[in-house]
Every structure is written in structure tokens, then in C-alpha cells.
Amino acid sequence: MNGETQSYNMSIVDSYKSFMERNTDPRTENWLLVTGPGPLITLLASYLYFCTSVGPNYMRDRKPYSLKNTIALYNISQILLSIFLVYEGLASGWWNDYNFDCQPVDYSDTPKAKRMAAAVWWYFFAKIVELLDTVFFVLRKKNRQITFLHLYHHTMMPICAWIGVRFLPGGHGTLLGVINSFIHIVMYTYYLISGLGPQYQKYLWWKKHLTSMQLVQFVIIFYHNFSVMFCDCNYPKTINFLLALNAGLFLYMFGNFYYRNYIKPRDGSKPANGVLANGKTKEC
């Protein structure tokens, strides 16, 4: 029995090594946090453990931290990083070179191909940095905002981005990063203004429209990846399916949030004051 178990384990290891050798992009395999899944898994496991257990327990008998200046600087950095990602995504392909209907990955060493690969890594890095959103919730004792939607969103996005850097740093799936980064420019601008104080609330009348933009984002991403599954395109249909599935799940969860906070309240119940679809509050 032990021999069979050992043989089975060796088979799994060999299959894993074979898969990595066949599919890894040699241009990116040695980049920071991309050498293997271990660093990312450790990081995400630590993130979830801190945000659901260690952090709330640590803050239980402590006053919440203000972090106003820290969060303001964080929001500014996120706006600038998102602008950079939109620009790089467009300049590297989506402005006039990439095909919306079908775009294979360019694995060459041409300047544009390498520039897109680098942009995909920076997008992955941005998803790692965004884990601080939840850390700030914990330190400010905003535990009510740490919802399943929030944790799922912040956990899945780094995983998707890591797969992109390691195996597909370019091509069809990168439109997701361009659209998502554009949404984040608007979103973190909202957070920055809302954190300036109550006197600026009158400038935030467009909160509802921000959630609408997030929903449109997922519709476009779903269509962009689902439609290519039915045509002859040199891009992994498994990835298209997973991206479409994930976009569909986000569309359902964000849509449910939109209904509960902007449609259902018309029946007489009060909306969740100041809460956005990703769990952020207007005082952040």
C-alpha cells in the first residue's frame, strides 16, 4: 500500500513538473513571486488567516486606528498605478494591434511583446497590493465590510493574475486587466474624495454609477471570453472558460449587491449606507 501511495505521489509530482515545463513562459518564470505557486499560496493563506482570525482577535480590545493619511496616500498610489496599467495595456497592444475577437499570446522577444508581459506582471503586483484594502478594514475595526464577496474578489484576482504572468503574459485575457484598471482609477478616486471628510460628500453623487460600471465591466469580460470559445483561436479555451465563469460569478454577486442596495430599498427598507460593491465604505 505504501509503495502504491508513493508511486501515486510521484506521478502527481511528475505531472506537475511536466505541465510547468510545457506551459510556463520562459520570459517570466523567474520574475518576483512567479517562480512557483508556493509564494502566492503562502501570501494568500496568511492574508485570509489574518483578516478572518488573527487581525480581528488582535483588535478586539483595542481602539480602531485612524490611518487617514496612510489610506489617502494608498489611494493616490492606486490611482497612479491604475493609470499606468491602462496606458501600458493600450500601448502594448489593445490600442491598435490586438484583435478583440481573437488575440493569441505573443511569446516572442519583440519590444511590444515583452512590454505587455511586464504590464501583466505589474497588474499581478497591483492585485497583491490591493490586499491592503482588507488589512485596513481590520485595523479600523470595519469587520462588517469583510464579506464573502470582498474576500473572494481579493483572493481570486491575484490567482488569475499569477496564471496570466506565468503562462499567458499577453493576448486575449489581458483586456480584463485594462478594463479592470480603468474601473480602479474611478473607484480609488471615489475613495480618495470620500476620505477627505463629510464636506466632500456632495461630490460623491455618482456612487451608484460606480457600481454600475463594475457590473458593465463583468458583462464585457464575460462576453469577451465566452464568445471566443466558439471560434478557432490560438488561445487556451480552458482559460477563456474560467475567466468567463469567474466574470459570471462576480456579475451575480455584484448584481445581487446592486439589487439589495439600490433597487430593493425602494420597497421601504433602507440602503446600506456608504457601502460599495467591493465592501469599501464611503469614509475610507
Is pLDDT of 144 > 50? yes
Residue 10 located in a structural domain:
no
Is the pLDDT confidence value at 32 over 80?
Answer: yes
Does the pLDDT value for residue 143 go beyond 70?
A: yes
Segment 105-127 shows an average pLDDT of 97
pLDDT computed for residue 266 by the predictor: 59
pLDDT at 14: 72
pLDDT of 128 > 50? The answer is yes
User: Which domain does 195 fall in, by range?
Assistant: 26-263
Is 77 among the domain residues?
Answer: yes
Q: Which of 13-17, 127-131, 141-145 has the highest mean pLDDT?
A: 127-131
Other CB atoms within 10 A of residue 251 CB = 18
> What percentage of the chain has pLDDT greater than the value 90?
72
Q: Where are the alpha helices (DSSP H) in the chain?
A: 2-23, 37-49, 55-59, 68-89, 111-129, 132-139, 148-167, 174-194, 207-226, 237-258
Assessment of whether the complete model's pTM goes beyond 0.75: yes
What's the half-sphere exposure (Cβ side, CA atoms, 13 Å) at 185?
A: 13
CA dist 180 and 79 (Å) reads 12
User: According to the model, what pLDDT value does residue 165 have?
Assistant: 98
Confidence bin at 3 (pLDDT 50/70/90): low
pLDDT of residue 173 exceeding 70:
yes
Provide the pLDDT for residue 90.
98
79, part of any domain: yes
48 assigned to some structural domain: yes
In-domain check, residue 123: yes
Of the listed 153, 154, 184, 224, which one is catalytic?
153
% of the chain with per-residue pLDDT over 70 = 89
Helix (H, G, I), strand (E, B) or coil at 216: helix
Question: Residue 236: inside a domain, yes or no?
Answer: yes
**Residue-level pLDDT at 95:** 95
For residue 7, is it within any domain? no
Confidence of residue 261 (pLDDT cuts 50, 70, 90): confident
Do 207 and 190 contact (CB within 8 A), yes or no? yes
In this structure, of 9-18, 68-77, 112-121, the range with the lowest mean pLDDT score is: 9-18
C-alpha cell, 275: 457601502
Q: What is the mean pLDDT of the chain?
A: 89
Q: Is the per-residue pLDDT at 284 higher than 50?
A: no
Question: What is the b/e burial string over 67-102, where b = at least 16 CB atoms within 10 angstroms of the residue's CB?
Answer: beeebeebbeebbebbeebbebbbebbbeeebeeee
Tally of domains in the chain: 1
Which pLDDT value is given to residue 257?
82
Q: What is the pLDDT of residue 283?
A: 41
Let me know if 224 is a catalytic residue. Answer: no
In this predicted model, what pLDDT tens digit does every residue of 67-105 receive, in sequence order? 999 999 999 999 999 999 999 999 999 998 999 999 999
> Does residue 277 lie in a domain region?
no
- The answer, yes or no, to whether residue 277 has pLDDT greater than 60, is no
pLDDT at residue 282 greater than cutoff 50 = no
Banded model confidence at residue 59, pLDDT cuts 50, 70, 90:
very high
The whole-angstrom separation of Cα 279 and Cα 78 is 17
Which stretch of 101-105, 202-206, 226-230, 263-267 has the lowest confidence by average pLDDT? 263-267
